[in-house]
Structure formats: structure tokens, C-alpha cells
Structure 1
Amino acid sequence: MTDLDPFTDLLDYPMYVVTAQADTERAGCLVGFASQCSIQPARFMVWLSKANRTCRVAERADRLAVHLLRRDQGRLARLFGAETGDRTDKFTDAPWHPGPGGSPILDEVPAWFVGRVEKRIDGGDHVGFLLAPETARNLTGSRTPLLTLHDTHDITPGHPAN
């Protein structure tokens, strides 16, 4: 338990899958620490655990793709949250296509965007990636119930949660 737990225990924010491509290496992981952080210019911040292979690939990537999941996409959340890319090629079990800048885009998600990495920030056990959105897609045409932190409490992380 940390000093912040009494506050953060009340939160139920969206979960995301962040994917990265650097050279011929792809990676992706389930992410809870992310948020829009500027309106003009539009900016979005994602935080990746240093223990995660996706962070190591993202450190070398020019762009990251950020995907929203529907509440009923627990299988996809478990694949990107409970499996580690150190042992599993997650992209063999999830349909995807190359997006802008070669970023891996998951085919089954309701919405995604690709952002150019503007800055990397050391945040302790996580690295923050400040993204300048370049392309965004909403494939549902309307709002859909999104996967949230509460929906993922039964997923054991592929790496220890820091």
C-alpha cells in the first residue's frame, strides 16, 4: 500500500493497448496510465513500465499507437496485459495491420490514434511518452462502453506491476 492508494483506489479510468514498432521489432502492452494533457496543441501522454518490453521498443520508436478497448474485449486485454512480449509474439494472436509510420494497429478495437513521440520523461518505474497525434480513428461511429481498470483486476501482469 502506498500513500496514494486511498485516492487511486477510487479511480476507474480507461485502459489502453499501446503498440510500438522500431526497426523490425513490434511490441504492445495494456496501459492504465494515460491521458490527454493538452487541447491546443493536442497532446496525449502514455506511461510505460520500465520492466515491460514495450517500453524498450518504444524508446527506439518514432511513433506509438494508442488503442481503446470495448468492455467485452477481455481476451485482447489479457493477451496484451498478462502475456509478456519477452516470451510471446502477441501479434500472432491479434489481427493487426501497419498504420501510419508502420505503427501496429489492432483491427478489432473501436478506436485508435497514432502519435509522434515528442518527448520521453523518466517518471520513476515508468517512462512517459508525450505524443503529438497524427491520425485518429473511431470505428464505431458512436460511443461504446470502454474497458476500464475495474474490468481488468483479474489480469495478472506479464511482468510485476511496479
Structure 2
Amino acid sequence: MAQLDAFSDLLDYPMYVVTAAAGGERAGCLVGFASQCSIRPPRFAVWLSVANRTYRVARQATHLGVHLLHREQGELARLFGGETGDEIDKFDRVTWQPSHDGVPVLPDACAWFVGRVHSRIDGGDHMGFLLDPVDASPAATGRPTPIMFSDVTDLSPGHPA
């Protein structure tokens, strides 16, 4: 719908790296569709493209990791947004540690949390994962500037959206 495209083109929002582990596989991708969606109880929703390998792993996962990157971490954003785990192991190229149910956590991100998958919501070409936070990085000092959508508009995605 052209009206929604015109509205969406005005937005600039944070980008996140979402990670998952299930069935002996790890996956992660760059995500723009994500937001806190409840205060009590605290909940956050992330939306993964059904064309994406991370979605295929996440649909079997009990927990997901959500990472906010510093603006200076463009190469990390490009790795998780411009490459596909169908061809490379992204986690061989970054520092990570396992968290709940093996979910990879990127400790160099400016902030992260791990959420238990509360429910899944069919959104069309994206699946929503409603998360209940169970672990998080230490509080950041100051207010870091995160990578925004406008910082990655030149990125060619590893998979079509």
C-alpha cells in the first residue's frame, strides 16, 4: 500500500541484532521491526522475516537474544544484515557467549537482553516473537548512539525481506 510506504519512509528507528539457538544450530540477523510493547509485565516484540535463516532457527527456540549496537559497530551490523548463515557461520567472526538455552549473546553490543519466547504472532511475511526478558547486560553508562535504519540503507540483505 503506497500510503503506508509514504508513512514508513519518514521513520528512522534503531536496528537490532537478534540471535537464536535450537537443534544444535545458531543464527542471527539484523532487525528493524522491534519494540517494547508492554510495561507490566515487561515485554518486547521482534519480527523476523520468514525468508530468513534466523526465523527457521527461532521458531524452534525457547529464548532469543536482542542486541542494540553502537553506531560505530557498522561492520557488525553489516555482518548480521548483509550475510546469510546459510553460507557462513557469523559467530566464527565475532565474540559471543552462550546464554539461556544456548542463545548467543554478543557482549560487545552496547546493550542486550535475552527473552523467553512467550508467543509467536503471524504478521504476514514476518513472524512476531513476544519476549519476556530473563537476562540483560549491565546498565550502559551514558546514552550511547545506536545504529539506526538510516545508517544501513545501503546494505544489501543476506536474504530478501
The share of aligned pairs that are identical, in percent, is: 63
**When the two structures are aligned, how many residues end up with a matched partner?**
161
> Is 1:37 the counterpart of 2:37 in the alignment?
yes
> Is 1:140 the counterpart of 2:103 in the alignment?
no
Q: Which secondary structure state, in structure 2, belongs to the residue aligned with residue 3 of structure 1?
A: helix
Gaps (5+ residues) in structure 2? none
Q: 1:137 to 1:107 in 2, by over 3 A?
A: closer
Whether the 8 Å contact between 1:110 and 1:139 is mirrored in structure 2 is no
Q: 1:152 to 1:127 in 2, by over 3 A?
A: same
2: CA distance, partners of 1:143 / 1:117: 28
> Is 1:98 the counterpart of 2:98 in the alignment?
yes
Whether the 8 Å contact between 1:53 and 1:85 is mirrored in structure 2 is yes
Q: Which residue does the alignment assign to 1:123? A: 123
Q: How does 1:1-162 map to 2 (within 5 A)?
A: 2-138=2-138, 140-161=140-161
Gaps (5+ residues) in structure 1? none
Deviation at 1:111, TM superposition (A): 0.5
Q: Give the RMSD, CA atoms, in angstroms.
A: 1.1
> Structure 1 stretch 76-85 or stretch 129-138: which is displaced more?
129-138
2: CA distance, partners of 1:19 / 1:7: 29
2: CA distance, partners of 1:117 / 1:53: 17
Which amino acid counterpart does residue 125 of structure 1 have in structure 2? D
Which amino acid counterpart does residue 149 of structure 1 have in structure 2? F
